[in-house]
Amino acid sequence: MTDDRLTIYSDYVCPFCYLGRKSLDSYQAGREEPIEIDWHPFDLRAQKRGPDGEIDESVDDGKDEAYFAQAKQNVQRLAERYDADMALDLSRDVDSLNAQIASYHVKQEYPYERWLAFDIAILEALWEDGRDIGDPDVLAGIAVDAELDGDEIRAAIEDEELAGTVSEQFEAAYQRGVTGVPTFVYDDHSARGAVPPEQLERLIEGV
């Protein structure tokens, strides 16, 4: 692994984050050395999440049906462009908080390759298989498939101190000026959205 690190701010429930990773895969396929991902969680459900963790769809977050219709069209267009076989176009009813806590735990406690396998498995479970990644049972199963301990993942999800740390990561993203995802950052330059592989190449290689 090289010392290069591409910082990515993302939320698992964002289809453009999944598609942005597909674009990154395409860029990486033509690169001699892999570039390491430095993942930072971002919370798209913060405004709609109630005190008990429920998602309240009645909360106005400025996204109406016209917004979602346009987003769905954009997802379908990019899925075709990036050859992504998606079971879902959008994930309005799924909350990724548990998944982000679990992923952050694995990132802190395991080697990079182990985290990356878990990270990819979460993305695929939601976007390719249509599974609810907010469900601790689903996340434990994903962990086992990624050769991690399912019970450890359940415990991480229930760890209030860890949840607080992840919440601090969400706030840190906002403080750094991240307002939407995916956001790719490399050497003080950034790109936002599911940008094409050639734009990622320009970001990372300056060409």
- Which domains, from first to last, does the chain contain? 5-49+61-205 (3.40.30.10)
Give the Cα separation of 133 and 124 in Å (integer): 10
* Number of helices and strands in the chain (H, E): 8, 4
Does residue 57 have a pLDDT over 80? no
Confidence at residue 29, expressed as pLDDT on a 0 to 100 scale: 95
Burial state string for 141-171 with b = 16 or more CB within 10 A and e = fewer than 16: bbbeebebebeebbebbeeeebbeebbebbe
In which element (H, E) is residue 191 found?
Answer: strand 189-192
Confidence at residue 2, expressed as pLDDT on a 0 to 100 scale: 42
Confidence at residue 56, expressed as pLDDT on a 0 to 100 scale: 77
Q: Cβ(96)–Cβ(13) under 8 Å?
A: yes
pTM of the model: 0.94
Give the Cα separation of 177 and 179 in Å (integer): 6
pLDDT level of residue 51 (50, 70, 90 thresholds): confident
The identity of residue 198, as a single letter, is E
* Averaged pLDDT, 40-60: 84
Residue pLDDT, tens place only, 90-135: 998 899 999 999 999 999 999 999 999 999 999 999 999 999 999 9
pLDDT level of residue 41 (50, 70, 90 thresholds): very high
Confidence at residue 63, expressed as pLDDT on a 0 to 100 scale: 86
| 60 torsion bin: left (phi>0), alpha (psi -120 to 50), beta (else) | beta
Q: Cβ(130)–Cβ(88) under 8 Å?
A: yes
In 3D, which of 149, 147, 158, 166 has the Cα closest to residue 108?
Answer: 166
| 83 torsion bin: left (phi>0), alpha (psi -120 to 50), beta (else) | left
**Helix pair angle (65-81, 15-29), 10° resolution:** 20
